[in-house]
Copies of this chain bind each other. A is one copy, B any other.
Amino acid sequence: MAGTSEPSMRRGRRPGSGSTRQVILDAARARFASDGFTATTIRRIAADARVDPSQVMQFFCSKDELFAATMAVPASALERFDTAFEGPDERLGERVVRAFLSAWEGPAEESEPLMAMLRGAIVNEQAAIELRAFIQSRLLHGAADDGDAMFRAGLASSMLVGLATSRQIIGVPVLAAADTERIVAAVAPAIQSVLVDSAGTP
């Protein structure tokens, strides 16, 4: 724990990794709120939290992941999306559709923070600015060297979030009543075509 020269004010005992993580999270939440996602740096958050930047990276692998953690989105949700977009193109559509459905419609600890982030961005302009920077950063992370791949990943993601919104938030009966396998069968070829097929590229 090099760098934590001053003991936390909140606890009498020497802080363990659990509380260091929490101190970083609190500093990050405050800094993202005051400076916004784009302007905030890991270095600045580390200074606020009085830890070394390497410690921030030890707990949270990237600024994206740290931001997601401040929104209570677990790293498992981000990994789920990343894993789905990686790998061979064959059955890519199906993998991505399953990843989105399982994150947005799965366990409450993943789906509720995602819903909260979306609801917040739809009603609050500042939250929308944060979410747009976060999504753009995630898309760059996934396809930094390929603008067209980034565009296509953005299209597919937004279409699948629309589907999850209709099922989970608005609850359109004909969609909410359909089971996951029926959705995957109907939508996977479409998402495959958005992500992989180049026929539509101008």
Contact = CB atoms under 8 A, between A and B. Distances in A.
B174 A139 contact: yes
A163 B158 contact: yes
Interface string A1-27: 000000000000000000000000000
A189 B191 CA distance: 10
A186 B200 contact: yes
Identical chains in the assembly:
2
A147 to B, nearest CB: 8
Contacts of A147: 174
A170 interface: yes
A39 interface: no
Does more than half of chain A's interface fall in helix, strand or loop, or is it mixed? helix
Interface in A73-123: 118-119, 121-123
A151 interface: yes
A41 interface: no
A157 to B, nearest CB: 8
Contact of A166 (B119, B150, B154, B200): B154
Interface string A141-167: 000000100111011011111110111
Contact of A189 (B118, B119, B121, B193): B193
A164 B167 CA distance: 17
A171 B128 contact: yes
Contacts of A71: none
A72 interface: no
Contacts of A193: 189-190, 193
B189 A128 contact: no
A199 to B, nearest CB: 6
